Amino acid sequence: MTTTAEDLDPLIIAEEWTSAGRDVALATVIDTWGSAPRPTGSHLVVDGQGNFHGSVSGGCVEGAVVAEALEVIESGNARMLEFGVADETAWRVGLLCGGRIRVYVERLV
């Protein structure tokens, strides 16, 4: 079976999961400053069981977004998340440079 761009698009996955009756949250990168691994408009879709598809950042940020998305699914209340690290701190933890991202997480119905 050939994988197409549509198979990998988190928005298509979100639609499929929602149509299948799964509780779903969508996280979207809405702003970036400095170094950010994913551009504005990147998506991560999460279901109520903690399954996810797509990416908004990577590493510990992605895990935190999944955890927040589960809470958004439970409460129904959207959240604005901001993650960042200063250049000095980034160097100490092994990153090349600092940056910040803002991620909006909403429940899909």
In the chain, the percentage of residues whose pLDDT exceeds 90 is 62
3-state secondary structure of 86: coil
Per-residue pLDDT tens over the stretch 11-41: 999 999 999 999 999 999 999 988 788 899 9
Top pLDDT among 98 and 91 is at 98
Structure tokens given for 105: 């997480």
Q: In whole angstroms, what separates CA 65 from the centre of its chain?
A: 6
Hey, where are the domains in the chain? 5-108
